[in-house]
Amino acid sequence: MKQLMRVFASIIIASAVLLAMISKLNDTQGYSGKNTLTVYNWGDYIDPDLIKRFEKETGISVVYETFDSNEAMMTKVKQGGTSYDIAVPSEYMIEKMREEDLLIPIDHSKLPNLKNIDERFMDLPFDPDNKYSIPYFWGTVGIVYNPKMLGGRELTSWNDLWDPELENEILLVDGAREVMGMGLNSLGYSLNDKNKDHLREAKNKLDSLTPNIKAIVGDEIKILLANEEASIGLVWSGDAADIMSENEDLDYVVPSEGSNLWFDNIVIPKTAKNVEAAHKFINFLLDAEVAAQNTEWVSYSTPNKAALPLMPEEMTSDERFYPSQELTEKLEVYENLGQKNLAYYNELFLEFKMHRK
């Protein structure tokens, strides 16, 4: 009988240990955890020291995962396998996630630091009254180029890239909206154009750029341009700032025809298990000092007006990254094109990439 009791006791202890291990595993994956916050963000998009500081100040452990496209992020959120408490999509994807009921409304009363956000970046069409999202970073799409490698030449227009003298000099980011947008803008069309004739015309014009394109790449574009493997690159403004910090010979321009003005905002997905911690994290990031430190590390433009006086003047006065009102009026925010139109953009972009081979 005693032996039987010992067996039962062993089973109970083993079960308790197993349950504890499962509970801990679930916490680290964001499936539960009163003291766990699971964040889903772009790569290199927050100062790691700030995550440590948040953990120290709140006692909340942060599980940090990254994605490389809005579409990949949304797919994973929809699947619901991981309970993300925070995500950072771009404006058009926020609109799409709203439409598909994938977001939890944000309680502004829990965000006293929301007052630090510049009103220009609030209440935008993709999220009226910021019911579901809070501004994180913003920026533009433009051209990084090396005047020294180009014999002192300056670039001011998208159409400058079609010069035959620039053969094998251009790197493009691997993004359908960005590359198709360049083609559309170069023809005077909107970044959100849905006219199939205009889109085909833009794709055909991009085909004619092929001799000048060295490669279509991902994050490695920063290293390649900094190391002068090419003299020109189509990039996001924050990446431009990073590249220029590595090579002082480089410059950045938003083309005169116009370009993309993008916004990345913080949201709380429907998968969230720790909504309270999510609000604490958002409010933490909205703190002026935290936002200033984060902006200096990330290099994109901050919507946090209270952070600007705490940052180096050479950053905040640089119109390449904080453009004038005149230029801003020529910029467009990506709209949610709808599934069929987005599929056509992707189809044309794939055709363009295949044309190069």
Calculate what percentage of the chain has a pLDDT beyond 90.
78
Rounding to the nearest 10 degrees, give the CA dihedral for residues 136, 239, 76, 341.
100
The CATH classification number of 139-261+324-355 equals 3.40.190.10
pLDDT band of residue 355 (cuts 50, 70, 90) is: confident
Task: Write the class of the CATH domain 2-138+263-316.
Answer: alpha beta
Interatomic CA distance for residues 249 and 124, integer angstroms: 36
Q: What is the pLDDT of residue 1?
A: 43
Residue with tokens 């709380």: 268
Interatomic CA distance for residues 353 and 37, integer angstroms: 39
* Amino acid code (one letter) for 313: E
Taking 60 as the threshold, does the pLDDT of residue 298 lie above it? yes
Strand 170-173 to 213-217 pairing? parallel
- Helix H segments across 29-160? 48-58, 70-79, 91-99
**Mean pLDDT throughout 237-257?**
93
What would the two tokens of residue 333 be? 């925010």
Residue pair 264/136 in contact by the 8 Å Cβ criterion: yes
Q: What is the pLDDT of residue 69?
A: 86
Which residues belong to CATH 3.40.190.10 in the chain?
2-138+263-316, 139-261+324-355
| Burial class of 147 by CB neighbour count within 10 A (0 to 12, 13 to 18, 19+) | middle
Interatomic CA distance for residues 172 and 191, integer angstroms: 17
Interatomic CA distance for residues 118 and 98, integer angstroms: 23
Q: What is the pLDDT of residue 326?
A: 81
Q: What is the pLDDT of residue 356?
A: 73
Q: What is the pLDDT of residue 71?
A: 87
Taking 60 as the threshold, does the pLDDT of residue 341 lie above it? yes
b/e 302-334 (16+ beta carbons within 10 angstroms → b): bbbbbbbebbeeebbeeebbbbeeebeeebbbb
Higher pLDDT, 7 or 259: 259
Residue with tokens 């279509």: 216
Rounding to the nearest 10 degrees, give the CA dihedral for residues 255, 161, 44, 83.
80
pLDDT band of residue 246 (cuts 50, 70, 90) is: very high
Calculate what percentage of the chain has a pLDDT beyond 70.
90
What is residue 69's DSSP assignment? Answer: S
| SS3 state at 264 | strand
**pTM (predicted TM-score):** 0.78
Interatomic CA distance for residues 91 and 337, integer angstroms: 12
Phi-psi region of 188 (alpha: psi -120 to 50; beta: other; left: phi over 0): left
Q: Which of 74, 145, 29, 96 is nearest to 336 (CA)?
A: 96
Long-range contacts of 151-160 (CB under 8 A, 24+ apart): 154/251, 154/253, 155/232, 155/253, 155/255, 156/253, 156/255, 156/256, 157/186, 157/255, 157/256, 157/257, 158/182, 158/185, 158/186, 158/255, 158/257, 159/186, 159/257
* Amino acid code (one letter) for 181: G
Taking 90 as the threshold, does the pLDDT of residue 13 lie above it? no
* Amino acid code (one letter) for 17: V
Residue pair 191/185 in contact by the 8 Å Cβ criterion: yes
